[in-house]
Amino acid sequence: MALGGIRVFMKPFQMQRIQLLLVGEKFQIGGNTYSGSSGSKRAHESDASDSNSVGSSARPMERDAAKKKLKKKAQELDRLEKITMMHSETNQLIKEKTHAKKMKMFIELTEKENLDDKSKKLLQQLSHDLFGN
pLDDT at 106: 92
Mean pLDDT of 105-122: 92
Mean pLDDT of 60-79: 90
Q: What pTM was computed for the model? A: 0.46
Judge contact between 127 and 133, C-beta under 8 A. yes
Judge contact between 11 and 96, C-beta under 8 A. no
Q: What is each CA distance from 39 to 23, 44, 58, 74, 91, in whole angstroms? A: 32, 9, 11, 19, 42
Distance, CA of 6 to CA of 47 (rounded, Å): 64
pLDDT classification of 36: cutoffs 50, 70, 90: very low
pLDDT at 18: 67
